[in-house]
Structure 1
Amino acid sequence: MAKRLWGLIAAAGSGQRLRAGTPKQYHHLAGRPILAWSLDALCQVPDIAGVMIVRAADDALFDRASLRRDDRVRDCPGGAERQDSIRAGLAALRDWGAAEGDGVLVHDAARPAVPATDITRLIEAVADDPDGGLLAAPVRDTLKRADAAGRVADTPSREGLWQAMTPQLFPLGRLQTALARDTRVTDESQAMEGLGARPRLVAGDPGNIKYTYPEDIHWLANAIERNRRRAPE
């Protein structure tokens, strides 16, 4: 059987840094929930078999957001930490029919402005690479490391440094193995690196930012409008 491609969206977070009562994935952007834009980005991938949204177990807003209009979309409850939620999502994909060798595009619910062309480029660049890959952008600015007093401790070199984004694309079985390790990770690439993998870095649009602070809404709205203008007729 030919390998298939699946999507998985991490949407179980509470968005504590925004200090808002509503989880950030349900904040509205250009008239729609942030999560709806992120879901569209994966549903528009040609031939994607299905997308699993991993939500909080006590999420009372998911059904109101009307995110199941496409029969390729399902949801499942997540866990306390990101890797717990991704593990739950991968298990749900396996129950849905995903195979160990299939590819999984793992995307953040709070990255609604990823261009479709970037996802296509990631898929083409990673192809059947067992180590997978991720969208990322080379670090442009000078970096400073702070000490405990909030003063500059040193200026590390930015040479060779990239800012990780999502989606990140990995073989389902290998990613499950990587996340089974009892280690806290901040993204799926780091989990794969723990297995000795060297995921491929694929240059992505710097506008693919994560909605983290209130002022980000302005930049994301501009990025989405730019994506609309770039889309083929």
Structure 2
Amino acid sequence: MSKPVLNTAPLDIALIDTAQIYTAPIYTAIVPAAGIGSRMAADRPKQYLTLAGSTVLEQTLSRLLEHSAIGTIIVATSPLDSWFEHLALAQHPRIKQVVGGAERADTVLNALAFVTTDWVLVHDAARPCLQGADLDAVLNAGRQAQGAILASRVRDTMKRGDGHAAIANSVSRDDLWHALTPQCFATHTLRQALTGALAAGITITDEASAMEWAGFRPKLVEGRSDNIKITRPEDLALASFFLEQS
């Protein structure tokens, strides 16, 4: 992860990208980790499965801890979680555990109650392959009214099903993106968007969808395609390979 470089030589202010200069932590990270990951068919939630010598969640948290602009990392877990307390990182001074909710949006909203910074990012617990350059890019882009998310362009031919396992039609992939995380927004704005969308009964699939419902147009920041979300057993081997290459 990139960190500020101290230089005692005279600085040309006109050449400085001030978004890259961090004098103190200015972001709080929220990691929703209340899901059970049923598609993994494992004896524990997927975030606690072993990956590269630790757990999926610890790999994910380590990527965030390396960034100098991120202060507190709030991990929102299930009320029935019995695994988090046994993690090596559970006692880290920058990590705070809170109770999540029934759905992702509820979990993030619960965590937002503990955020004291003006800016917040939300990152999936099961995305352990986040690269530092992508994290820098979305943090910098997110510090504006609309917010920003990491995303990757759709490269495959897209088909819409008819509900009976047959093709209804082809869908143009032009301007289609896969939504990734982290997603970065102004704390107060995201809190209001989530609260309003939930009260209106809107289905919220990610934080950006709540912002879209509230009338915002978050910026798309193109990220690496190896920032995968572990959802199936075969994803563990792929994530392990990506971590070895990073």
- Fold equivalence (TM over 0.5): yes
2:222 is aligned, of 195, 203, 207, to 203
Q: What does 1:25-174 align with in structure 2 at a 5 Å threshold?
A: 25-93=47-115, 98-99=116-117, 102-126=118-142, 128-174=143-189
- 1:189-213, Cα deviation, whole Å (9 max, x unpaired): 0000011100000010100010011
> What is the TM-score with the length of structure 2 in the denominator?
0.86
Q: Which amino acid aligns with 2:34?
A: A
- 1:84-128, Cα deviation, whole Å (9 max, x unpaired): 0000110122xxxx04xx1111000000001111101112233x3
Secondary structure in structure 2 of the residue aligned to 1:193: helix
2:73 and 2:25 mapped to 1: Cα distance? Answer: 16
Counterpart residue number, 1:230: none
- Residues matched between the structures, number: 219
Secondary structure in structure 2 of the residue aligned to 1:176: helix
Return the offset for 1:69: 3.9
Instruction: Return 5+ residue gaps in structure 2 as ranges.
Output: 1-23
Instruction: Return 5+ residue gaps in structure 1 as ranges.
Output: 228-233
2:101 and 2:221 mapped to 1: Cα distance? Answer: 29
2:37 and 2:222 mapped to 1: Cα distance? Answer: 27
Q: CA RMSD in A?
A: 1.3
Q: Which amino acid aligns with 1:134?
A: I
Q: Which amino acid aligns with 2:139?
A: I
Give runs of ≥4 in structure 1 deviating > 4 Å: none
2:69 and 2:156 mapped to 1: Cα distance? Answer: 38
Return the offset for 1:71: 0.6
2:240 and 2:25 mapped to 1: Cα distance? Answer: 35
Secondary structure in structure 2 of the residue aligned to 1:224: helix
Q: Which amino acid aligns with 1:142?
A: T
1:193 and 1:185 mapped to 2: Cα distance? Answer: 10
Counterpart residue number, 1:221: 240
Query: Against the structure 1 CA distance between its residues 150 and 202, is the aligned structure 2 distance closer, same or farther, given a 3 Å change threshold?
Result: same
Q: Which amino acid aligns with 1:225?
A: E
2:69 and 2:159 mapped to 1: Cα distance? Answer: 43
8 Å CA contact 1:132–1:170 kept in 2: the answer is: yes
> What is the TM-score with the length of structure 1 in the denominator?
0.91
